[in-house]
């Protein structure tokens, strides 16, 4: 069977909170927040109004030699949220572009301060950082990377800090930190930065790790004079239970990349936050080789900034974190029903990300060619839910406006999908 027979395209014409409505009037609960971008549901009145108002005021202006209030306000709001010492904001337009910016800035910083040999990056096994060539070079998911291997940079790959089936495992985190320490001991002079996804390696299959790992990575980066780049494109903006994932380890990265949920899922916008030392190493009125030349046409687009500001206003006016904490417990309770299922392993949750893995009758992962997760996807559609497993990993990343009842139903849909997938 061809994929298009398995996977009919569903034309969506409207959105209402966590629900998508198709041309034929069918409703689908967006259980994956439309690839992790949507925070407060679709067509949110407050965010939609802010974008509309901005469109009537200023839709776009060049962000070189010119500036505009939404870009300035958003930078100030982000700096306030993230906290010292990340006081500088560089805008880009997609998550991948933010990763490119952080990689280039780290490399170029070391060059500007007289350490030009620091040119390589360390990433984690299973890392996902996007799919433009630089970002794809850092991505270690073979499905995305393998075909383009000949075009890519060659990062150093450190072991992932996660346990079997992606569960949090303090021993695994400890071992991974020790392995990273050994790699830095050997390579630090040629390494610009360690790049990682704090707390949850999402595209790898929602593989979760202990915040203690991040704290250890931070101290290793300090010891070996290497930057720490936190890719919070998927996990930022309250997804993991705190506004930013790195906060759970009580550490700060040197570069923080955010995207996806930054605009509440409305428009493409990303940014890289960094500190004064990096800013100062580039600041120069005349010598352009010292300056950071990286420009995207839509950098700091006012409509996107207005959406991001409105999304931050929702955070400021509603108890989002507290509500998410309650919804997280609802997910735990619902998922507990699957704990003894012979075809389910690794039930896990960090904030508003929950997942489990499908296994065969012997408890082993299915070969990816069997595409068991796809059957869960197909089943969920028949019940009006959008779940889009990653290989054998079935996961839930709902918009924050979901109700407890909707989440219980969503997990029950997935459980019925498991029965369809394993027989
Ligand atoms: C999605 C994602 C990216 C890439 O973002 P795009 O906007 O799709 O380019 C980078 N890193 C992580 C962790 C992501 O989940």
Residues 98-129 have pLDDT tens digits of: 999 999 999 999 999 999 999 999 999 999 99
Query: Do the beta carbons of residue 385 and residue 29 sit within 8 Å?
Result: yes
Q: Is residue 222 part of a domain?
A: yes
Q: Is residue 275 part of a domain?
A: yes
For residue 2, the model assigns a pLDDT of 52
Among the atoms of ligand 1, which is closest to the Cα of residue 235?
13
Distance CA 311, CA 61 (A): 22
For residue 1, the model assigns a pLDDT of 47
Which two tokens mark 116?
Answer: 């030009």
**pLDDT tens string 349-398:** 999 999 999 999 999 999 988 999 999 999 999 999 999 999 999 999 99
Domain limit, last residue, from 316, 343, 378? 316
Predicted confidence band at 285 (pLDDT cuts at 50, 70, 90)? confident
Which two tokens mark 255?
Answer: 């570069």
- Which residue has a Cα nearest atom 8 of ligand 1? 95
- Mutating to test ligand 1, I would choose from 130, 244, 267 the residue with most ligand atoms within 8 A of its C-beta, which is 130
Q: Beta 191-196 vs 120-124: how paired, if at all? A: parallel
- Mutating to test ligand 1, I would choose from 95, 209, 257 the residue with most ligand atoms within 8 A of its C-beta, which is 95
For residue 389, the model assigns a pLDDT of 97
- pTM for the model stands at 0.97
Among the atoms of ligand 1, which is closest to the Cα of residue 130?
4
**pLDDT tens string 23-39:** 999 999 999 999 999 99
| 103 Cβ below 6 A of ligand 1 | no
Examine the domain organization and report whether 359 and 226 are in the same domain. no
Kindly state the percentage of the chain with pLDDT values over 70.
98
CA-based nearest residue to 350, from 287, 397, 389: 397
Examine the domain organization and report whether 64 and 122 are in the same domain. yes
Predicted confidence band at 289 (pLDDT cuts at 50, 70, 90)? confident
Query: Do the beta carbons of residue 246 and residue 214 sit within 8 Å?
Result: yes
Centre of ligand 1 from the C-alpha of residue 57, in Å: 30
- Say if residue 214's pLDDT is above 80: yes
Examine the domain organization and report whether 301 and 383 are in the same domain. no
Predicted confidence band at 5 (pLDDT cuts at 50, 70, 90)? low
Examine the domain organization and report whether 23 and 56 are in the same domain. no
Centre of ligand 1 from the C-alpha of residue 71, in Å: 22
For residue 347, what is the enclosing H or E element? strand 344-350
First to last CA, the chain: 18
- Say if residue 4's pLDDT is above 90: no
Backbone φ and ψ for 401, nearest 5 degrees, come out as -90, 5
Distance CA 163, CA 172 (A): 6
- Say if residue 161's pLDDT is above 50: yes
- Which residue has a Cα nearest atom 12 of ligand 1? 129
| 414 Cβ below 6 A of ligand 1 | no
| 202 Cβ below 6 A of ligand 1 | yes
| 94 Cβ below 6 A of ligand 1 | yes
Distance CA 93, CA 403 (A): 31
115 DSSP 8-state letter: -
| 130 Cβ below 6 A of ligand 1 | yes
For residue 355, what is the enclosing H or E element? strand 353-358
94 DSSP 8-state letter: S
Distance CA 295, CA 303 (A): 18
- What are the CA-CA distances from residue 270 to residues 234, 315, 356, 406 (Å)? 11, 18, 29, 30
Q: Can you list the positions of beta strands (E) in 75-219?
A: 86-92, 120-124, 156-158, 191-196, 200-201, 207-208
Query: Which of helix, strand or coil describes residue 74?
Result: helix
List beta partners, residue 357. Answer: 345, 393
Examine the domain organization and report whether 254 and 338 are in the same domain. no
- Count of domains for the chain: 2
Among the atoms of ligand 1, which is closest to the Cα of residue 97?
9
Examine the domain organization and report whether 297 and 165 are in the same domain. yes
CATH code for the domain in which residue 167 is found? 3.40.640.10
Examine the domain organization and report whether 402 and 281 are in the same domain. no
Omega of the bond leading into 284 within 30 degrees of 0 (cis): no
Q: Which domain holds residue 333?
A: 3-30+319-422
């Amino acid at each position: 069977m061809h994929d298009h027979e398995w996977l009919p395209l569903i034309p969506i014409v409207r959105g209402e909170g966590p629900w998508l409505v198709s041309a034929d009037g069918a409703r689908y609960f967006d259980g994956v927040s439309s690839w992790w971008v949507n925070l407060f549901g679709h067509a949110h009145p407050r965010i939609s109004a802010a974008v509309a108002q901005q469109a009537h005021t200023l839709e776009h202006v060049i962000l070189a030699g010119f500036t505009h209030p939404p870009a300035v306000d958003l930078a100030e709001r982000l700096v306030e949220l993230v906290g010292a010492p990340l006081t500088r904001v560089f805008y880009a337009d997609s998550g991948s572009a933010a990763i490119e910016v952080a990689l280039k800035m780290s490399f170029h910083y070391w060059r500007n301060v007289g350490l030009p040999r620091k040119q390589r990056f360390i990433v984690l096994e299973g890392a996902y950082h996007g799919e433009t060539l630089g970002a794809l070079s850092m991505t270690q998911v073979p499905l995305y990377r393998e075909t383009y291997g000949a075009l890519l940079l060659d990062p150093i790959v450190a072991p992932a800090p996660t346990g079997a089936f992606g569960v949090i495992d303090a021993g695994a985190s400890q071992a991974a930190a020790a392995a990273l320490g050994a790699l830095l001991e050997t390579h630090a002079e040629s390494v610009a930065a360690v790049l990682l996804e704090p707390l949850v390696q999402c595209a790898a299959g929602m593989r979760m790790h202990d915040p203690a790992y991040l704290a250890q990575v931070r101290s290793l980066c300090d010891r070996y004079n290497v930057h720490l780049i936190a890719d919070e494109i998927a996990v930022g903006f309250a997804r993991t239970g705190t506004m930013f994932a790195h906060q759970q380890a009580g550490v700060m990265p040197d570069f923080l990349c955010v995207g996806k949920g930054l605009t509440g899922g409305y428009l493409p916008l990303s940014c890289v936050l960094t500190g004064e030392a990096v800013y100062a190493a580039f600041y120069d009125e005349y010598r352009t080789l010292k300056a950071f030349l990286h420009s995207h046409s839509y950098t700091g687009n006012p409509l996107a900034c207005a959406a991001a500001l409105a999304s931050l206003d929702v955070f400021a006016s509603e108890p989002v974190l507290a509500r998410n904490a309650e919804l997280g417990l609802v997910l735990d309770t619902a998922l507990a029903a699957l704990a003894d299922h012979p075809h389910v392993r690794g039930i896990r949750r960090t904030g508003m990300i929950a997942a489990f893995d499908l296994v065969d009758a012997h408890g082993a992962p299915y070969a990816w060619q069997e595409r068991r997760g796809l059957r869960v996807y197909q089943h969920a559609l028949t019940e009006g839910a959008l779940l889009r497993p990653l290989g054998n990993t079935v996961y839930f990343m709902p918009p924050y406006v979901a109700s407890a009842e909707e989440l219980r139903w969503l997990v029950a849909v997935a459980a019925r999908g498991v029965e369809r997938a394993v027989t």
